[in-house]
């Protein structure tokens, strides 16, 4: 027996353990709140530690001949060295894996550099993309001229799994330096999203690390039935627009057990998204969990049935935020923020219906995205700023059915906290501190 065998199977056991613990997170009601949350978060950190160890132990160059049904990028000439462009090898390996319904393997221990690439379906069922090692973005920005929006794009693939415990590194430093948010003299141009899933159904993305994306790290666009779990997403707190997980036009998605610290939103959920659940999420640094922005450029937005349950936010500029531009239309409704712990968050609870990301201020407009049936329940912790709760709703389309129950936000340092509430109709049960004064 090869000496690698036991380690490989240890990895398999770990992966299936992660899988089964995920199953139990589904039964939210059976788990007892605060302690359970702490335990879970601790557990998720342990998972990452184990993941790395197991990952290091995987075979360095798992040639497909070793395991039937595996297609290694090295079989198609990938080398994984500095300055080596492995894009072609990945394309060829994908064509083979997709047409056979096989497991595409990116071997461990090495770093493969690739240029913008599209992995298209449809594929045979059970196609898997398994990253043990590291995939790193080609550094020269000229390589992205054809499509500045995407680095790795998966499109039109059903019943698909991406996993492996490895790392996807967007190598974003040059993009950040050239962002207009960092250097005001430069024009505002788009930078690529590191990994985009577009029109994928029955998708699982699990046990992966995402790092230093050029712009957003991971986007689900027009997908249906998605499970994203055990993800670790990291970028410096000052890297511009590096959202962790972005959900757009996607239905039935569960994001669970993930740790996200970046320079922008931890999770952002925008128009066309329905039945979105995020559970056991740890955020910070960054801008917190956000619904929106919605209604930009007088657009219509539709977001409904969003549940964020069990999250810890540390040192983020917002906690749970809903942001809409003036002049939009449509709705965001049936939203629940439950069991959330805030640590030194600047705007722990915020509805901002006057969102304006322009240099010049946005002018007053009549129409607005309607916000209704938003529940804030069991949200505790500390605020870095005085205004811990801010409901800044539209004058013409006030926020309706806002439920506040057991919300307690104390100041991080000395001083006090206040709530600022404009054009909002709320219903309060249980503790509510600080309360709206207006
Ligand atoms: C979270 O919130 C819901 C609704 O308030 C509650 O039923 C549940 O027990 C809470 N705790 C956990 C750990 O989900
Ligand atoms: C809290 O956050 C503020 C502002 O983000 C920061 O200046 C301060 O150092 C933080 N305090 C702690 C105790 O982390």
List the residue whose alpha carbon is closest to atom 11 of ligand 2: 344
Distance of CA 334 to the CA centre of its chain: 21
Domain of 312 in residue numbering reads as 5-433
Task: Quote the pLDDT of residue 66.
Answer: 58
Task: Say yes or no to pLDDT of 225 above 50.
Answer: yes
Output the pLDDT for position 303. 98
Whose Cα sits closest to atom 7 in ligand 2? 384
Check if the beta carbon of residue 101 is closer than 8 Å to that of residue 135: no
Ligand 1 touching residue 29 (CB < 6 A): yes
35 lines ligand 1 (CB under 6 A): no
pLDDT for 179 beyond 90: yes
Closest approach atom of ligand 1 to CA 32: 13
pLDDT single digits (tens) 265-309: 999 999 999 999 999 999 999 999 999 999 999 999 999 999 999
Verify whether ligand 2 is closer than 6 Å to residue 345 (CB atom). Answer: no
| Distance separating alpha carbons of residues 194 and 88, to the nearest angstrom | 18
Q: Where does the pLDDT of residue 437 fall: very low under 50, low under 70, confident under 90, or very high at 90 and above?
A: confident
> Could you give the number of structural domains in the chain?
1
Q: What is the pLDDT of residue 332?
A: 98
278 within a domain of the structure (yes/no): yes
**Distance (Å) of CA 248 to CA 180, 218, 272:** 24, 11, 6
Residue 29: pLDDT over 70 = no
Give nearest CA residue, ligand 2 atom 3: 384
The pLDDT, as a whole number, for residue 127 is 97
SS3 346: coil
Among 248, 245, 242, 221, which residue's Cα sits nearest to residue 232?
Answer: 245
Name the percent of the chain lying above pLDDT 90. Answer: 81
Cα 35 to Cα 41, 42, 371, distances in angstroms: 10, 11, 32
Q: CB–CB of 342/384 below 8 Å?
A: no
Provide the annotated active-site residues.
264, 287
Do 416 and 408 meet the contact criterion of CB atoms below 8 Å apart? no
Q: Mutation test of ligand 1: which of 39, 41, 280, 339 has the most ligand atoms closer than 8 Å to its C-beta?
A: 339
In b/e form, how buried is each residue of 403-412, taking b as 16+ CB within 10 angstroms?
Answer: ebbbbbbebb
Q: Which of 186, 185, 247, 258 is nearest to 216 (CA)?
A: 247
User: Ligand 1: which residue has its CA nearest to atom 3?
Assistant: 338
Is residue 338 in contact with ligand 1, taking CB distance under 6 Å? yes
Inform me whether the pLDDT recorded for 52 exceeds 60: no
Reported as a pLDDT band with limits 50, 70 and 90, residue 438 is low
Q: Report the CATH number at residue 46.
A: 2.160.20.10
The answer to whether the CB of 65 is under 6 A from ligand 1 is no
240 belongs to a structural domain: yes
DSSP 435: P
CA distances from 265 to 218, 285, 380 (A): 12, 9, 20
- Can you spell out the DSSP letters for 181-208? TT-TTS------EEEEEES-EEEEEEEE
Cβ of 28 closer than 6 Å to ligand 1, yes or no, is yes
Percent of the chain whose pLDDT exceeds 70:
85
What mean pLDDT value characterizes the chain?
A: 88
CA 154 to chain centre: 16
Note whether residue 438 is domain-resident: no
DSSP 374-421: EEEEEEEEEESSSEEEEEE--SSS-EEEEEEEEEEEEESSSS--EEEE
pLDDT for residue 391: 98
**Which residue has a Cα nearest atom 4 of ligand 2?**
384
Closest ligand 2 atom to Cα of 344: 1
Q: Which of 26, 30, 100 is nearest to 70 (CA)?
A: 100
| Helix/strand/coil percentages in the chain, nearest 5 | 20, 45, 35
**404 vs 418: CA distance, rounded Å:** 15
């Amino acid at each position: 027996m090869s000496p690698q065998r036991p380690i490989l199977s240890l990895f398999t056991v770990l992966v299936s353990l992660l899988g089964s613990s995920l199953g139990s997170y589904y039964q939210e009601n059976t788990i007892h709140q605060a302690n359970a949350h702490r335990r879970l978060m601790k557990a998720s950190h342990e998972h990452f530690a184990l993941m790395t160890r197991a990952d290091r132990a995987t075979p360095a160059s798992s040639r497909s001949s070793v395991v039937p049904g595996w297609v290694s990028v090295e079989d198609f000439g990938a080398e994984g060295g500095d300055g080596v462009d492995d894009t072609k090898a990945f394309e060829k390996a994908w064509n083979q894996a997709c047409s056979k319904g096989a497991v595409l393997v990116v071997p461990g221990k090495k770093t493969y550099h690739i240029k913008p690439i599209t992995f298209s379906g449809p594929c045979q069922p059970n196609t898997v993309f398994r990253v043990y090692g590291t995939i790193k973005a080609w550094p020269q920005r000229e390589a992205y001229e054809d499509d500045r929006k995407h680095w790795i794009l998966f499109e039109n693939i059903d019943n698909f799994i991406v996993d492996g415990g490895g790392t996807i590194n967007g190598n974003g430093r040059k993009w950040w330096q050239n962002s207009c948010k960092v250097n005001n003299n430069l024009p505002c141009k788009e930078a690529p999203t590191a990994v985009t899933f577009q029109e994928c159904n029955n998708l699982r993305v699990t046990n992966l690390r995402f790092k230093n994306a050029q712009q957003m790290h991971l986007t689900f666009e027009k997908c249906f039935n998605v499970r994203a779990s055990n993800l670790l997403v990291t970028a410096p707190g000052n890297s511009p627009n590096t959202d962790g997980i972005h959900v757009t036009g996607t239905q039935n998605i569960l994001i669970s057990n993930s740790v996200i610290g970046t320079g922008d939103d931890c999770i952002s959920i925008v128009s066309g998204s329905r039945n979105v659940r995020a559970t056991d999420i740890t955020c910070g640094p960054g801008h917190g969990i956000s619904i929106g922005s919605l209604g930009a450029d007088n657009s219509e937005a539709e977001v409904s049935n969003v549940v964020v349950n069990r999250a810890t936010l540390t040192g983020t500029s917002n906690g749970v935020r809903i942001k809409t531009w003036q002049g939009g239309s449509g709705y965001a409704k049936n939203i629940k923020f439950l069991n959330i712990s805030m640590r030194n968050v600047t705007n722990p609870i915020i509805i901002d219906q006057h969102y304006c990301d322009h240099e010049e201020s946005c002018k007053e407009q009549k129409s607005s995205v309607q916000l209704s049936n938003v529940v804030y329940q069991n949200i505790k912790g500390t605020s870095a700023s005085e205004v811990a709760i801010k409901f800044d709703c539209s004058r013409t389309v006030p926020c309706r059915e806002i439920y506040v129950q057991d919300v307690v936000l104390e100041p991080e340092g000395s001083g006090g906290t206040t709530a600022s509430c404009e054009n909002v109709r709320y219903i309060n049960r249980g503790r509510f501190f600080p309360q709206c004064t207006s």
